Amino acid sequence: MSERDEIMGRIYAALQVPAPRPGSHDRTIKGKGAGGKSASDFQPFLPEAGESDAEQIEHFRARCAELKTDLHLVSSPDEARMVLGEIAGAEKWKRVATHNGTLTDTAINRLGLPVLNTTNGYDVNELELCDAGITECDALIAQTGSIVVTSRDSGGRALSVLPPHHVVLARRWQLVRDLSVGLECVHNKYKADYPSMISVVTGPSRTGDIERILVLGAHGPKKLSIICW
Amino acid sequence: MVNSANQFKIDARRVAADLRHRGLIQTAFGKYEVARDAKKSAFQDWQSARQASAEIKWDAINHLDQYLQSLVAKLEARGTKVHWASTAEQAREIILGIIKQKNARSVIKSKTMTAEEIHLNEAMEQAGYDVVESDLGEFIVQLRNEPPYHIVFPAMHLTRGDISELFQRELGSAPTNSPEELAMIARRVLRKKYLTADIGITGANFAIAETGMISITENEGNARLTAAMPKTMVTLLGIEKILPKLSDLALFLPLLATAGAGQTITCYNTLYGGPRQSDECDGPQEWHVVLLDNHRTELLADAEQRDALHCIRCGACLNVCPIFRNVGGHTYGTTYSGPIGGVITPHLRGLQDWKHLSMASSLCGACTETCPVKIDLHHHLLQNRRNAVKEKPALFERLAYKMFGFIARKPALWLLAKKLGRIIQPLQKVVKGSVLDPAKSWTQTRDLPPVAKTSFKEWWRQHQ
């Protein structure tokens, strides 16, 4: 018998005796079978995110401020390019990395800096030398101030985490209410053919491992900028 | 060789009197409590969220057979190699086999308590491989050659001064008093490791049966780098980490972050569903998922305590436990400490050798109250005590109670015992707490109130 059969056999045997339902340790209720809950069952218990678009934008802005995410809500692609240029100047970027994408392509062209494009493969040592990774994202989440990046549509696994500054270019319509909707978006977008990595990123990399004191930029980016129009 | 129960007593006595340790732990947990309460209050209904998570985990664990098969089928369909390990030894052999087959030299690891459980680092180091922990706290305790102090905060027993000294000694860095500079020293050292490591080993917080993904929760980005750079990725997964649906994460990610670290959600929550796909530009060429049983199915067979498998390893029960706060994490001498460690360690490592952890509780129930998945922790501690005694009765104790019962039921004997007690009690003071005292483990730290000069019966007779 294979180890798989051994383990599965022990599981079958163990589950012959039903366990008490949570919150009712005094009595046993036989389970109805696999099914579970849907997100709408617990959504009303979770932290709020605002109902209207304006409320959700405010929520997102407040979460970003708490998390020390550098958020720029602008009104046009031109303004977004300008903001990106200003950040590049202020941070004295010499070299940036990005991937192919409708938002990234136009923004990068005007930056006038050497660019490493990760879309068709790259040398990891060169990526390590870049001052910033500029990516798109799949969703912005009002409830938590998060962005969702994937290995397929955000330039791979490393681009959004290896360079010391991660810049996300996004559109306002990408802002969703909460984590449930964000995950649903990803689910609907990719169906069964999902990317090998999907990451919910909430603020710049951080640690509290030394005396529970917050330090930004533990291993991932020290700075996270979101430019959204 | 001191057995684990005696070692626990020796260490507990030493640490409980260590004021420096006490100060550090109180400060750290004080900060944690403030942050946790603030984030808990952001929930619209924390208690209902706990109940929902308990029900989802109940469903997952009580249909583990179905969900595990679904997970594995989905993982394999996307080119992931799944391995099954009944024991810690098998898991170590599988992982060492992968390293050997890849002709690898260096391994980078992101934080995983399951790997601590199977003592993976020792096995890899003994086999001659260069292994580096990438989580800052884990990196620090690895340099100190000690196990993590706490399942979520591995280096919380150290000050910045301790860490600065450690880095000077081990890494040759300049002394500093700044946590930020210390973190940057580690960042620089580990950067090189990410770029050169052949194998990346991770744990997992959740495994999604519906889509065949694992989910890793972290703050630093070290797990993301571990899963991005090396050519081969290995994930060690306890079979109980299962969740039925992708949408369940919308509940569990905030719940874990709030209970575990006082955050609404941690910085990186990343789903992995396969090795690098044909249209992707980076990521590991191979991904191995090692499913670990290691006595989990025995705990599963105990219907009474099956909900201990709901644990999401947030560490909240450790943080509120008065025993943990007094004796510290290392005293437990086991991977999982605190109340959850007291519940599961006897199942994972033997009831008779580890039953003392179930005794190390004030039964105040703070753990049960704080547990985000509503594990009935303090009752399980009682059940372990009951099972331990049932399995191996304490004969002296049983005899003592039999005698007490016999005397207490006979008024004449009871009267005699009271009279004798008045005479014997002063004599007991002479031997109190010494080796001659038959009840020394009790009397060492406690005083029996003196037997009254007159009993109530005598007093009543005199005053009628």
Can you give the pLDDT at residue A25? 47
The one-letter code for the residue type at A97 is A
- Is residue B61 within 8 angstroms of chain A, CB to CB? yes
User: Does any domain span residue A18?
Assistant: no
Number of independent structural domains in chain A: 1
The label of the residue with tokens 């985990």 reads B57
pLDDT tens-digit map of B292-331: 999 999 999 999 999 999 999 999 999 999 999 999 999 9
CB pairs under 8 A between A and B: 320
A119 DSSP 8-state letter: T
- Is residue B51 within 8 angstroms of chain A, CB to CB? yes
B159 DSSP 8-state letter: -
| Interval A215-225 mean pLDDT | 96
Q: Which two tokens stand for residue B295?
A: 């006595």
- Is residue A155 within 8 angstroms of chain B, CB to CB? yes
Of B43, B29, B51, nearest to B264 (Cα)?
A: B43
Whole-number Å distance between alpha carbons of B434 and B419: 25
Whole-number Å distance between alpha carbons of A167 and A66: 18
Of A47, A161, A37, A68, nearest to B58 (Cα)?
A: A37
Contact A115, A150 (CB under 8 A): no
- Is residue A88 within 8 angstroms of chain B, CB to CB? no
The label of the residue with tokens 């649903």 reads A184
pLDDT tens-digit map of B331-354: 999 999 999 999 999 999 999 999
Backbone dihedral region of B410: left (phi > 0), alpha (psi from -120 to 50 degrees) or beta?
beta
Contact B8, B333 (CB under 8 A): yes
Can you give the pLDDT at residue B99? 97
- Is residue A206 within 8 angstroms of chain B, CB to CB? yes
Whole-number Å distance between alpha carbons of B329 and B337: 6
Of B38, B186, B229, nearest to A215 (Cα)?
A: B186
CATH number at residue A151: 3.40.50.10420
Whole-number Å distance between alpha carbons of B121 and B127: 10
Q: Is A125 exposed, middle or buried (0-12, 13-18, 19+ CB in 10 A)?
A: exposed
pLDDT over threshold 70, residue B120: yes
Residue A79 lies in domain: 63-228
CA-based diameter of chain B, in Å? 99
User: Does any domain span residue A212?
Assistant: yes
- Is residue A153 within 8 angstroms of chain B, CB to CB? no
Whole-number Å distance between alpha carbons of B411 and B419: 12
Can you give the pLDDT at residue B24? 95
Whole-number Å distance between alpha carbons of B189 and B195: 11
- Is residue A104 within 8 angstroms of chain B, CB to CB? no
pLDDT band at A33 (very low <50, low <70, confident <90, very high): very low
Angle between helices B4-16 and B351-359 (to 10 degrees): 30
In angstroms, how far is CA A196 from the centroid of its own chain? 14
Can you give the pLDDT at residue B321? 97
Interface touch B297/A19, C-beta < 8 Å: no
Whole-number Å distance between alpha carbons of B332 and B9: 10
CATH of domain B59-294: 3.40.50.10420
| Interval A167-192 mean pLDDT | 95
pLDDT band at A32 (very low <50, low <70, confident <90, very high): very low
Give the one of B44, B246, B265 whose C-beta lies nearest to A44's C-beta.
B44
Give the one of B24, B222, B264 whose C-beta lies nearest to A144's C-beta.
B264
Q: How far is CA B376 from CA A1, A21, A182, B405, B413, in A?
A: 36, 11, 33, 33, 43
Q: Which two tokens stand for residue A152?
A: 């397929």
pLDDT tens-digit map of B264-289: 999 999 999 999 999 999 999 999 99
This prediction has a pTM of 0.93
Q: Is B195 exposed, middle or buried (0-12, 13-18, 19+ CB in 10 A)?
A: middle
Question: Is residue B238 classed as helix, strand or coil in its secondary structure?
Answer: strand
Sort out which chain B residues have CB atoms less than 8 A from A42's CB and list them. Answer: 48-49, 52-53, 250-251
Q: From the CA of B433, how many Å to the nearest CA of chain A? A: 40
| Interval B58-65 mean pLDDT | 96
Whole-number Å distance between alpha carbons of B289 and B74: 12
Whole-number Å distance between alpha carbons of B136 and A7: 35
Of B284, B330, B243, B310, nearest to B102 (Cα)?
A: B284
The residues facing B108 across adjacent strands are B132, B200
Of B198, B314, B258, nearest to B49 (Cα)?
A: B258
Q: From the CA of A211, how many Å to the nearest CA of chain B? A: 6
Interface touch A204/B267, C-beta < 8 Å: yes
pLDDT over threshold 70, residue A29: no
Burial code (b: 16+ CB inside 10 Å, e: under 16) for A38-59 equals: ebeebbebbbebbeeeeebbeb
Q: Kind of pairing, strands B213-218 and B268-272?
A: antiparallel
Contact B86, B292 (CB under 8 A): no
How far is the first Cα of chain A from the last one, in angstroms, to the nearest whole number? 59
What count of other Cβ atoms lies within 10 Å of the Cβ of residue B460? Answer: 10
Can you give the pLDDT at residue A36? 61
Can you give the pLDDT at residue A24? 55
Sort out which chain B residues have CB atoms less than 8 A from A13's CB and list them. Answer: 301
Question: Residues of CATH 3.40.50.10420 domain(s) within chain B?
Answer: 59-294
CA-based diameter of chain A, in Å? 70
The one-letter code for the residue type at A150 is T
User: Which helix (H) or strand (E) element contains residue B398?
Assistant: helix B395-408
- Is residue B261 within 8 angstroms of chain A, CB to CB? yes
pLDDT band at A27 (very low <50, low <70, confident <90, very high): very low
- CA nearest B39 in A: which residue? A47
Interface touch B27/A212, C-beta < 8 Å: yes
Of B291, B293, B297, nearest to B76 (Cα)?
A: B291
Question: Is residue B227 classed as helix, strand or coil in its secondary structure?
Answer: coil
| Interval A178-194 mean pLDDT | 93
Q: Which two tokens stand for residue A20?
A: 């008490």
Decide which of A39 and B377 is more confident: B377
pLDDT over threshold 60, residue A168: yes
- Is residue A36 within 8 angstroms of chain B, CB to CB? yes
pLDDT tens-digit map of A90-136: 999 999 999 999 999 988 888 889 999 999 999 999 999 999 999 99
Interface touch A210/B160, C-beta < 8 Å: yes
Choose the mutation target among A45, A63, A124 for the interface with B, i.e. most B CBs under 10 Å: A45
Percentage, residues of chain A above pLDDT 90:
85
Q: Which residues contact B45 (CB under 8 A, 6 or more apart)?
A: A44, A45
Can you give the pLDDT at residue B195? 93
Give the one of B48, B191, B301 whose C-beta lies nearest to A14's C-beta.
B301
Q: Which two tokens stand for residue B423?
A: 């005479």
Choose the mutation target among A1, A41, A138, A197 for the interface with B, i.e. most B CBs under 10 Å: A197
Alpha carbons within 13 A on the beta-carbon side of B52:
22
- Is residue A29 within 8 angstroms of chain B, CB to CB? no
State the Cα torsion B362-B37-B178-B180 to the nearest 10°. Answer: 120
Contact B242, B207 (CB under 8 A): yes
Q: From the CA of A217, how many Å to the nearest CA of chain B? A: 7
Contact A104, A134 (CB under 8 A): yes
pLDDT tens-digit map of B410-441: 999 998 998 888 888 888 778 877 888 777 77
